[in-house]
A and B are shown apart, each in its own frame.
Chain A
Amino acid sequence: MVEWIHPGLLFVFGAVPIPFLRGPARQAWLIGIPLLAIADVASMTPGNYGAFDFAGVELLIGKVDKLSLVFAWVFTIMSLIGSVYALHVKGPEQHVAAYLYMGSALGVVFAGDWFTLLVSWEIMAFASAYLIFAAGGKAAIAAGFRYLMVHVTGGVLLFGGIVLLGLETGSFLIGPLAGEGGLAFVLILVAFIINAAVPPLNAWLTDAYPEATVTGAVFLSAFTTKTAVYVLIRTFPGTEALVWLGAMMAIYGVVYAVLENDCRRLLAYHIVSQVGYMVVGVGIGTEMALNGTASHAFAHIIYKGLLFMGAGAVIHMTGRHKLTELGGLYRTMPLTVALYMVGAFAISAFPFFSGFVSKSMVIAAAAGDNRAAVTLMLTLASSGTFLHTGLKLPYYMFFGKDCGLRPKEPPRNMLAAMGIAAVLCIGIGLFPGPLYALLPHPVDFEPYTGAHVTGSLGILFFTLLGFVVYLKALDPEPTISLDTDWFYRRGARAFMWFAEKPVAVWEGALSGISDSVILRYLHASARGGLRVDLNVVDAIVNGVARSVLSSGSLVRRLQTGVVTHYAAAMIGGVLAAIAVYSVAWGG
């Protein structure tokens, strides 16, 4: 009798037969595995599973407690919804990538030790990148490489932080981190907030998600940022800086959404904004705040999936994604409009929709902690959320000026997936009890008080009034907005100088150190690894560099030499870390 089955492994092994299955058999498989995973999560009891000793390091691949369970629930539910939405996709590649992505996201959720987390984290980055590459075309490929570049950097920071942490504490088990300001603390925090898309480290998300495939973006919107929120809850509860980063983030996303013309990029900026609420909750760190963060992540994954599915349905049927080129689609796509609007009401936190019972918990936690400014910032961002996802986007996509297109409703599987998500958005809003029961701490919160309902309606409907009065000012314009990705897209020259000079010097120093301390057997294995790294890393780094250096002949001439240095520097860093590790635990 197997004590515990890792739901992530269901997806990883479940991905293997996908290329060999055809037609209805594959479709049944694609839905069957998520159903099995949901049943698996439903049958779990808290405890530690899969603990073993690996070369003197204690690993724990299955830490099951209330916190990991609430995320596992929503991840597996979303895997079902996303899989139904993607059923019509013909080739096996995207399905396999999505499965690996979901499997590794669940790997992070159940990881009890840092190495399991790191490995899952890296698989997540590569599997998710494929969903961007799969869209094809120059823009998607370039965005995919930029996405990978950021996540590989984040992975290296995480790896460095983990090694330092292990040196300091002697344990690899994950728990709340102490020692604020220490290097390990900072490295791990930065790696996590890269994945949570906290500005100024947010641009990878808003750059890449809108370039992904229609079905891929639905998966992307759910997992990467929310695994980051999850690990933040695990390791950084009560970190004051997160309160302010989160509050700024909530407004940052809203401001950029005003300027945005691409429908999925607008939604992507609202992921940034919504994750801001969750980050605030982690920063406050009280039981109520952490409950709020977990419940908002739960609600968010489903309504954001629904919104991306709605926008994706429009892109799928029209081939257009700019608001300036859309409009008037309500005539032929009323079901899509209605389903999208359920997601829009949920993200806007209308009473009786899911966002109302989750977002308000974060805001109430901020108020309960006597943080007036944060409370006001989050309330302001709520107004902006409705303004864009609930009013601007549907108005210019479905209503407004008629673009002349008369697309049909999307395929039935897409509508069905949106239907499941919509039912959940309303169900959670009407009956928050079951969600509250899943939360990590006991819930002492009643969302449906008279003042809260009328207050929320007041904010929302008077935002609507503002929208109606100033509609003209919101007309989308055919522009793009500069975000912090500018620094690695146009600031590449400075970056190349940095790679040429200081990094190369640093790399030389590092290899000197590793030569003198590294053990002999490590040399041999490292040389083997180096060959792999030079091939694999070179290919990736070359791709990344190509996408970064789209212009400038001077830079182009530098490229070949620089890539070798860059790769050498990366490998040097990894080798040094392994050396430190082996000296600390090998003997």
Chain B
Amino acid sequence: MIGRVVNFFGDAAHAKARRRLLWATLVVVLAADFLVNRDHGDFFWDFIPGWAAAFGFVSCIAIIFASKLLGKQGRVMRDEDYYG
């Protein structure tokens, strides 16, 4: 059972099914965020449905590119033998 689940996420034969599952999950998660009760919140964004999804997506991209910029342009990334 565990082997089959893991194989589903690894085997290239299931690539199409994986993609469909991802899209379906995204739609369900986003839709659910519009349906839940939002009586309580600390900040204005707590009352915006879909905020978390947008924030997650933007955060992810920001982290990837800001870090890579720092690594390459900021010369944080060096050759493996830098310290000898």
Contacts and interface: CB of A to CB of B under 8 A. Distances in A.
Interface of A: 254-256, 258-259, 328, 330-331, 334-335, 337-338, 367-368, 370, 372, 375-376, 379-380, 383-384, 387, 398-399, 449-451, 453-468, 470, 473-474, 477-482, 489-490, 550-551
A461 B46 CA distance: 18
A553 to B, nearest CB: 14
B45 to A, nearest CB: 9
B17 interface: no
Contacts of A462: 26, 29, 52-54, 56-57, 60
A584 B77 CA distance: 51
A398 B10 contact: yes
A399 B9 contact: yes
A10 B5 CA distance: 43
B84 A551 contact: yes
A479 B32 CA distance: 42
A466 B58 CA distance: 8
A258 B71 contact: yes
Contact of B29 (A254, A337, A370, A457): A457
B76 A379 contact: no
Contacts of A372: 43
A-B CB proximity, top 9 nearest: A466-B60, A459-B56, A450-B36, A458-B52, A258-B67, A458-B53, A383-B59, A455-B52, A367-B42
Nearest to A485: B83
A464 B66 CA distance: 18
- Where chain B touches its partner, the secondary structure class is helix
Interface string B1-43: 0110111011000000000001001100110110111101111
A479 B59 CA distance: 24
Contacts of B10: 328, 330-331, 398-399
A146 to B, nearest CB: 11
B77 A480 contact: yes
Contacts of B26: 461-462, 465
Contacts of B25: 461
B80 to A, nearest CB: 6
B77 A459 contact: no
B58 to A, nearest CB: 8
A479 B6 contact: no
Given A331-B10, A451-B46, A458-B56, A480 B82 contact: yes
Contact of A480 (B32, B51, B61, B78): B78
Contacts of A398: 10
